[in-house]
Amino acid sequence: MIISNIAFGELERGRDKGRSAANGLAALIDTGHVTVVDLPPAAEDVYLSLVAGRANQTLDDGEAATLALALDLGATALIDERKAIGIAATRFPTLNVATTTDLLLSDRIRSVLTPADLSDALFATLAEARMRVPDHLLDEVCACLGPDKTLLCPSLPARVRSAQKSDF
């Protein structure tokens, strides 16, 4: 996996706000599972087009760099932010976009994690990184988490957490 230095820098700055996503990513970088790269010159025009303009049509630096890099490399962009996913679908309809949830629930990840480890990984991304879960994956995520952990995830929709309470 590859991340742009721009996106990684944005995650690093999140530490000042109490966010811990950079910690988990740093561990993956240290073990060689993720590589940090500079944005290639060929991707700069796309990047600039995504950060400059009207607010409703632009993205933060990290999301813009992720989309530009994925387009340049012909890779899948890993994006959780709803606005970025929408802009990607509109402007780059052939670009493959996946979410962190898609990655964690993939067969590849499930083949190396125990169900308990998968539950812990999902919980950490929901509780600490405040990952957003696409609607079509909510049931699967809740099944992996179990009712106790689901109740403790403020980033899950209230209706989902409420349904867990009624199951007790």
Mean per-residue pLDDT of the chain: 90
Give per-residue pLDDT as tens, 113-125.
999 999 999 998 8
Domains and CATH numbers, the chain: 2-98 (3.40.50), 102-166 (no CATH)
Measured CA distances, 134 to 19, 54, 79, 114, 127 (Å)? 21, 26, 11, 23, 16
Task: Quote the pLDDT of residue 132.
Answer: 84
Residue whose entry in the numeric block shows the structure tokens 């009624």: 166
Task: Quote the pLDDT of residue 45.
Answer: 97
* Selected residue with higher pLDDT from 130 and 45: 45
How many angstroms separate the CA atoms of 63 and 51, rounded?
9
Give per-residue pLDDT as tens, 42-91.
999 999 999 999 998 999 999 999 999 999 999 999 998 899 999 999 99
